[in-house]
Amino acid sequence: MGRLIKIAFVCAGLYFGWQRYSAHQAFEARVAEFPDIEIYTTPQCGYCKMAIAYMDKHDIEYVQKDIEYDADMKDEYRERGGNGVPYFFVHGEPMRGWNVERFEKLRGGS
């Protein structure tokens, strides 16, 4: 009976260890889905245009998400706490508005 309990504990340990490992792998896969820099924009936003021009000028890769014409993007924007544009995610950290110094600090750039 004692041996059976030991085997049960070993099996439970392996099972829960595997569950924890797979959950960590799934988390890393989800993180990899998001680019380093995301910017939610609208076509008429002057600050959005300034931010995009800055990133283009400095060859900074980003993903632009237009919330005016794409309902799914607008829903995503709202789910992520959007309230005004430009709305950034820099390495997963949210940033509201456009400020070069704040952007570079989040980005880890110069």
What is the domain extent for residue 18? 1-33
Residues 11, 41 share a domain: no
- pLDDT level of residue 93 (50, 70, 90 thresholds): very high
What Cα–Cα distance (Å) separates residue 56 from each residue in 31, 61, 74, 92? 24, 8, 24, 20
Domain identity same for 98 and 83: yes
CATH code where residue 78 lies = 3.40.30.10
The predicted model scores a pTM of: 0.67
**Beta bridge partners of residue 63, listed in sequence order:** 38
pLDDT (tens digit per residue) in 14-36: 666 656 655 545 545 554 566 79
Give yes or no: residues 55 and 68 share one domain. yes
In a shared domain, residues 55 and 96: yes
Does 52 share its domain with 15? Answer: no
Q: Respond yes or no on whether the N-terminal peptide bond of residue 86 is cis (omega within 30° of 0).
A: yes
Domain count, the chain: 2
In whole angstroms, how far apart are CA 60 and each of 3, 21, 39, 51? 60, 34, 12, 11
